[in-house]
Structure 1
């Protein structure tokens, strides 16, 4: 029996391959609370790396399979998250969410109000934590279904394919990069958190100006 840690990208990829990508991205994109603990960026980039074979090694994963599974998981997960928010409403978000989730929900609401539905749904995909609550929040706030389906699909495909292809390009250009998946995952985590840190600094500066 294979022991799998769902929060560990290397473990998920080793056990399930492209299907693991589909399941993890689906859950992160649509299942509130649970999605916070699953890899997103840190799964797609290593998956892309494993699709690039070396000079004497065959690729461990097939690029087309990973890209397809990533896109399907992102788009389908987003739609499920929207339906959860649409039928559960704000009461669901407030009742079942902890402080961390509530902060992310509030941020999602600000993003939708500031940038509009289309831009917010695309940009929100690239921000960890935010993309997990953005879709339920959009459903709870009554974003039109057609508008949501269009822009969340654009954002989901753009986000998932960009990261997979970035990993593939890295794996194809750097010899034996797959031997350093753990440091690579750590680097991806740091890079993916940069937007969060930038937003936090902007918020702190704004509060200082108000004072």
Structure 2
């Protein structure tokens, strides 16, 4: 069971085991099914690009290679279709789920965060930018439906974001694999580690920012509770 869990979280294992069709199914699941948030979408797409290049043997073994045309067409289609399903799910079921504070999948804080995200960047930028942030790209779609973002508007920016995300990740991997084919084995693991770090960095920044905000709020609350002590400290 542990080995299965490791394989599911490992992009190289997923690609070598499931191939192009399995990869496309995972892209759909990560963006459309809430249970797919843990899949390594960014690293999966980049590594798939490598597996479609002249360095494919480092990922799939000697003689094997993924079809780049299938990936370039299928990945954005699956990403867009998955996100549309998530939006539809949000419009139909989201409000009832978000009204339950103890929901196993959703939490009310997701709606609040999404509202802040939408207010900060606007619906269009929010949908496009979310594609490049793990976990957020899974939950933002049903949240957008819950917040009643029009399906047509969501679709337009979903297509823009889906194409930008999938094609950029695939082509980065493809051209990197082609350019570094002779030494790809040496740099593959460090490169994947860097990709994962870059992918999760927005989440880490948000966590640190939220922690700082809570500390500031707690300090302000303490000053209000003890105004004399607060004035003494400032003096």
Normalising by the smaller structure, the TM-score range is: 0.7 to 0.9
Query: Is it true that 1:65 corresponds to 2:70 in the alignment?
Result: yes
Match of 1:188 among 170, 189, 195: 195
- Corresponding residue for residue 92 of structure 2: 87
State the Cα distance separating 1:190 from its structure 2 match: 1.1
Rate the CA distance shift 1:54–1:15 in 2: closer, same or farther, 3 A. closer
3-state SS of the aligned residue for 2:37? helix
Alpha-carbon distance in 1 for matches of 2:107, 2:185: 34
Structure 2 residue matching 1:17: 3-state secondary structure: helix
- Which residue of 2 is the match for residue 28 of structure 1? 30
Q: TM-score, normalised by structure 2?
A: 0.77
Bigger-Rg structure (1/2): 2
Q: Map of 1:53-202 to 2, 5 A cutoff?
A: 53-54=54-55, 60-93=65-98, 95=100, 97-98=103-104, 103-174=109-180, 175-177=182-184, 181-202=188-209
2: CA distance between counterparts of 1:19 and 1:156?
Answer: 18
- Quick one: distance in 2 between partners of 1:27 and 1:138? 17
The TM-score with structure 1 as length reference comes to 0.85
Which residue in 2 is equivalent to 1:16?
18
Q: 1:62 Cα shift? A: 1.7
Distance 1:101 1:60, change over 3 A: farther
Q: What's 2:231 paired with?
A: none
Unmatched 5+ stretches in structure 1: none
Query: How far did residue 199 of structure 1 move?
Result: 2.3
Q: Secondary structure at the match of 2:195?
A: helix
Q: Could you list the runs of 5+ residues in structure 2 that have no partner in the other structure?
A: 221-235
Structure 1 pair 92–178 and aligned structure 2 pair: CA distance change class (3 A) = farther
3-state SS in 2 of match to 1:60: coil
Alignment length (residue pairs): 208
The residue matched to 2:148 in structure 1 has which SS? coil
